[in-house]
């Protein structure tokens, strides 16, 4: 998906899955009396977040930030990541999936169309598409030329038409026309890989998941949460820092922040609500007036008010 930038989505595995030989979601006991970086330790109920550095390294490499975060421990990283997420909740209380859809099939179709295309363009295209093709049978029996013309504005329309027709046929043959609810079944469908499958699971079926698009991966690396580049490894690394129940909304809020404030080339550091916890502060303008001009989106007045602008 894109919204002024391209992205791919993925879902972290359920607690208990093995990652690099380490149980994902396992517990490590931490002394309650040990304070780290001036913060009280998290109790053993935090599960995977408290894994030892060695175990954490097998899940996903954790970047060693410079400056005041140079000596950050694993527990310090967990606490910092969760502070940052709490700030994102305040900054983006209404974050959400920016693709318009009314049911799982519509989300599957919209996500397929979003490859190499902005969410805005997809949302301009799908109303007529959804009206013309309301169910799996309609896609399975679609006239290819007509379908291609409807989705042409999203780009790569021939390949996408193949995927949509194949998707409709597979849903009819294997799932009585309904979109399945498991990753294993979804990834067998035409046009749906792991990442598209996890967008559907997280947003249509309320399965907590971490959506790793280009914004998400860029920001968590910039924040020193992980140095991994592979989306699945990023899922595991971030999933070990943040509680599972927050994964889906974490994804939306990180992506919102990347689109509005923490831009790839020129982040608005001087007005960022995460500045005090960000190892990369200074990658963009730190002067508040200069940085304020870089903030985008309808949330801009709210975001600037939070930092006293």
Rounded to a whole number of angstroms, the distance between the first and last alpha carbons of the chain is: 31
Residue 118, phi then psi, degrees to nearest 5: -75, 150
Name the nearest CA neighbour of 150 among 109, 179, 189, 190.
109
Sign of the C-alpha dihedral computed for residues 46, 47, 49 and 51 taken in this order: positive
Residue 19 three-state SS: strand
Residues forming the annotated binding site for [4Fe-4S] cluster? 262, 269, 272, 278
Active site amino acids = 195, 213
Total residue count of the chain as it appears in this document: 309
Residue 196 three-state SS: helix
Question: If you write DSSP's letter for every residue of 105-160 in order, what string do you get?
Answer: HHHHHHHHHTTTSBHHHHHHHHHHHHHH--SHHHHHT--HHHHHHHHGGGS-HHHH
Do residues 250 and 85 make contact, with C-beta atoms less than 8 angstroms apart? yes
Separation of alpha carbons 195 and 253, rounded Å: 18
Residue 258 three-state SS: helix
| Token digits of residue 182 | 């498991």
Separation of alpha carbons 221 and 228, rounded Å: 8
Residues in contact with 237: Cβ distance below 8 Å, sequence separation at least 6, in sequence order? 56, 59, 60, 61, 62, 220, 225, 226, 228
| HSE, side-chain direction, 13 A CA sphere, residue 75 | 18
In the 8-state DSSP scheme, what is residue 276?
A: G
Residues forming the annotated binding site? 262, 269, 272, 278
């Amino acid at each position: 998906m894109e919204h002024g930038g391209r992205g791919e989505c993925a879902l972290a595995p359920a607690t208990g899955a093995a990652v690099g030989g380490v149980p994902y979601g396992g517990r490590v006991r931490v002394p309650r009396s040990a304070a780290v970086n001036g913060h009280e330790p998290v109790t053993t109920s935090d599960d995977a977040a408290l894994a030892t550095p060695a175990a954490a390294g097998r899940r996903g490499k954790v970047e060693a930030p410079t400056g005041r975060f140079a000596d950050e421990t694993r527990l310090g990283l967990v606490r910092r990541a969760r502070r940052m997420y709490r700030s994102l909740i305040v900054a983006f209380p209404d974050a959400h999936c920016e693709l318009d859809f009314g049911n799982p099939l519509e989300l599957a179709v919209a996500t397929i169309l979003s490859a190499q295309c902005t969410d805005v363009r997809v949302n301009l295209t799908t109303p007529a598409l959804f009206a013309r093709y309301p169910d799996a049978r309609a896609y399975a029996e679609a006239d290819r030329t007509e379908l291609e013309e409807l989705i042409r504005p999203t780009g790569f329309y021939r390949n996408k038409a193949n995927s949509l027709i194949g998707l409709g046929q597979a849903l009819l043959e294997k799932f009585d026309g309904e979109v399945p609810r498991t990753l294993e079944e979804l990834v067998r469908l035409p046009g749906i890989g792991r990442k598209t499958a996890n967008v559907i699971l997280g947003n249509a079926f309320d399965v907590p998941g971490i959506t790793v698009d280009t914004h998400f991966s860029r920001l968590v690396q910039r924040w020193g949460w992980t140095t991994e580049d592979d989306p699945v490894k990023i899922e595991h690394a971030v999933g070990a820092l943040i509680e599972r129940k927050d994964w889906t909304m974490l994804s939306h809020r990180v992506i919102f922040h990347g689109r509005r404030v923490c831009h790839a080339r020129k982040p608005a550091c001087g007005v960022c609500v995460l500045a005090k916890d960000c190892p990369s502060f200074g990658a963009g303008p730190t002067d508040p007036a200069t940085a304020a001009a870089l903030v985008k989106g309808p949330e801009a007045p709210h975001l600037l008010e939070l930092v006293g602008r």
